[in-house]
Amino acid sequence: MVKIDEKLEPILNEVIRRNAGEPEFHQAVREVMESLGRVVAKHPRYADNALIERICEPERQIIFRIPWVDDQGQVQINRGFRVQFNSALGPYKGGIRFHPSVNVGIIKFLGFEQCFKNALTGMPIGGGKGGSDFNPRGRSDGEIMRFCQSFMTELYRHLGEYTDVPAGDIGVGGREIGYMFGQYKRLTNRYEAGVLTGKALFYGGSRARKEATGYGATYFVERMLATRGLNFEGRKAVVSGSGNVAIYTMEKILEFGGRIVACSDSAGYVVDDDGIDLDLVKEIKEVRRGRIAEYARERKQARYVEKGSIWDVPCDVAMPSATQNELTGKDAETLVKNGVIAVGEGANMPSTPDAVRIFQDAGVLFAPGKAANAGGVATSALEMQQNASRDSWTFEQTETRLATIMRGIHDRCAATAEEFGAPGDYVLGANIAGFVRVAEAMDALGVI
Ligand code: NDP
């Protein structure tokens, strides 16, 4: 473990004490603290007025009951969360996750990371995150709709285009956003398009929002590869997951001339040495809402591996795009042994701290999620802009903005790492650049 600066260690200890039993939140805060030592050494004023303590404490945390009726007429109860972390830069902004593993610690880690990520985009958005321990798998459309309506029946009073603007995340895509928006509109009697992002195009959505996180992560990695005179052309890539982020990461890698050899879902992974057929993955995941195992049944040369790690598949570029802590130290050692040259996190915190250290020690280019996957939220902010001006941009216009934003984030992280004496360390660069923007805004607004 990296040693924490002596001014910051008591702050981290207090976060751990106050938020007992929330290991993912501790992990996310620790990682930022590891980077901030260099900032407080250079600019001690950032440690004044309990600024760092305030950054680690969410402004508001909402936990609520979600009762709903399933197709058998049984009443089900889930728990809902919204952590409104920091609004110094703008309204809280961050996705909603529906997954059985969701708890307050996971939402807090995601909300904390979101503050720095949103700051890195340079756009006027604060940080927040929400979700529920609801498991959408195997649920009918009617059940999903009733659940989303019940979720919004409590949450709507905490939202607003100037207050808090959720979007999708694991288990929440266009269908769920539609049901939530419908309920918000009904409860408030307002057509407030800018209150949710990730909407379908015909009621205020943005072109390229669906593609944005995956495309953005790939733009980031492309830029990072270019710092060593490399590119995606002819390179083998492994992308974990087969959801929204993974699918559009694969699409952009293919466009850049790379070859995808493996992808996965939570039950297993498929390897296709001829290159993953993305149309088939989309058909299975987006149309049928099926399992990735079906891919191997339909492509003779592909194989499905039910147990084991997707990171055993040799590749040049690895893009973990499923969930937190899915890539361990052991996986990182295997990837390094197999000659990986770049790792770009499409998911939030998918690499464990050990894995990050192994990549960095081996000189592998490593892009942390809070920088690499910021394209989704950046395009959400573009969706808010279009809603505010009652406008709708073309796909090309939106994607061009996204590409410019991602290259800007890359360059900001690289320049900050260099300025703070750690060239090529994108983790440090992202943490410091994001922190400084949030801290400056908080400082300007006084002790609130
Ligand atoms: P989706 O629900 O569309 O897809 C998630 C994928 O990851 C699925 O293939 C799912 O498999 C797999 N997965 C989920 N949980 C686990 C688990 N516990 N173990 C193994 N595999 C798992 O979500 P997204 O693609 O939207 O999100 C993926 C990651 O990207 C998350 O970390 C999210 O926070 C992050 N992210 C998403 C953004 C977005 O715009 N959507 C923006 C920025 C970050 P299965 O179907 O079997 O559950």
For residues 223 and 365, state if they share a domain. Answer: yes
For residues 185 and 231, state if they share a domain. Answer: no
Separation of alpha carbons 260 and 237, rounded Å: 5
The predicted-structure confidence for 344-358, as pLDDT tens digits, reads as follows: 999 999 999 999 999
pLDDT-above-70 percentage for the chain = 100
Is residue 423 included in any domain, yes or no? no
For residues 30 and 98, state if they share a domain. Answer: no
Q: At what angle do helices 23-42 and 426-444 cross, to 10 degrees?
A: 80
Contact 340, 243 (CB under 8 A): no
Separation of alpha carbons 396 and 323, rounded Å: 29
Return the number of other C-beta atoms located less than 10 Å from residue 158's C-beta: 17
Residue 57 tokens read as: 């404490």
Q: Which atom of ligand 1 is nearest to the CA of 168?
A: 41
The predicted-structure confidence for 131-152, as pLDDT tens digits, reads as follows: 999 999 999 999 999 999 999 9
For atom 40 of ligand 1, which residue has the closest CA? 376
For residues 262 and 176, state if they share a domain. Answer: no
Q: Is the CB of 245 under 6 A from ligand 1?
A: yes
Q: Is the CB of 242 under 6 A from ligand 1?
A: yes
Is residue 29 included in any domain, yes or no? yes
Q: Which atom of ligand 1 is nearest to the CA of 246?
A: 25
For residues 115 and 218, state if they share a domain. Answer: no
Q: Is the CB of 416 under 6 A from ligand 1?
A: no
Is residue 148 included in any domain, yes or no? yes
Inform me whether the pLDDT recorded for 208 exceeds 90.
Answer: yes
Mean pLDDT on 425-444: 98
Q: Probe ligand 1: pick from 120, 176, 245, 287, max atoms within 8 Å of CB?
A: 245
For residues 43 and 68, state if they share a domain. Answer: no
Q: Which atom of ligand 1 is nearest to the CA of 198?
A: 40
Q: Which atom of ligand 1 is nearest to the CA of 349?
A: 32
Domain boundary, last residue among 314, 349, 372 = 372
For residues 329 and 275, state if they share a domain. Answer: yes
Q: How many structural domains comprise the chain?
A: 3
> Does 129 participate in catalysis according to the annotation?
yes
When pLDDT is cut at 50, 70 and 90, the band that residue 1 belongs to is confident
The predicted-structure confidence for 81-114, as pLDDT tens digits, reads as follows: 999 999 999 999 999 999 999 999 999 999 999 9
Residue ranges making up the domain that contains 343: 211-372
Residues 6+ apart with CB under 8 A from 62: 80, 81, 82, 83, 84, 155, 158
Residues 6+ apart with CB under 8 A from 36: 5, 8, 46, 52, 431, 432, 435
Is residue 202 included in any domain, yes or no? no
The predicted-structure confidence for 231-240, as pLDDT tens digits, reads as follows: 999 999 999 9
Q: Is the CB of 121 under 6 A from ligand 1?
A: no
Q: Is the CB of 198 under 6 A from ligand 1?
A: no
Q: Is the CB of 169 under 6 A from ligand 1?
A: yes
Read off the CATH number of the domain in which 237 is found.
Answer: 3.40.50.720
Residue 218 tokens read as: 């790939």
Is residue 335 included in any domain, yes or no? yes
The predicted-structure confidence for 161-204, as pLDDT tens digits, reads as follows: 999 999 999 999 999 999 999 999 999 999 999 999 999 999 99
For residues 292 and 337, state if they share a domain. Answer: yes
pLDDT score, position 307: 86
For residues 74 and 159, state if they share a domain. Answer: yes
Is residue 168 included in any domain, yes or no? yes
Domain boundary, last residue among 330, 355, 372 = 372
Is residue 388 included in any domain, yes or no? no
The predicted-structure confidence for 368-405, as pLDDT tens digits, reads as follows: 999 999 999 999 999 999 999 999 999 999 999 999 99
DSSP assignment of 327-364 equals: B-HHHHHHHHHTT--EEE--SSS-B-HHHHHHHHHTT-
Domain boundary, last residue among 372, 406, 432 = 372
For residues 163 and 16, state if they share a domain. Answer: no
The region that residue 439 occupies, defined by phi over 0 for left and psi between -120 and 50 for alpha, beta otherwise, is: alpha
pLDDT score, position 229: 98
Is residue 203 included in any domain, yes or no? no
For residues 37 and 72, state if they share a domain. Answer: no
Read off the CATH number of the domain in which 136 is found.
Answer: 3.40.50.10860
pLDDT score, position 230: 98
Read off the CATH number of the domain in which 42 is found.
Answer: 1.10.285.10
Residue 418 tokens read as: 């260099």
For atom 21 of ligand 1, which residue has the closest CA? 266
- Strand, coil or helix: 324: coil
Inform me whether the pLDDT recorded for 2 exceeds 90.
Answer: no
For residues 65 and 49, state if they share a domain. Answer: no
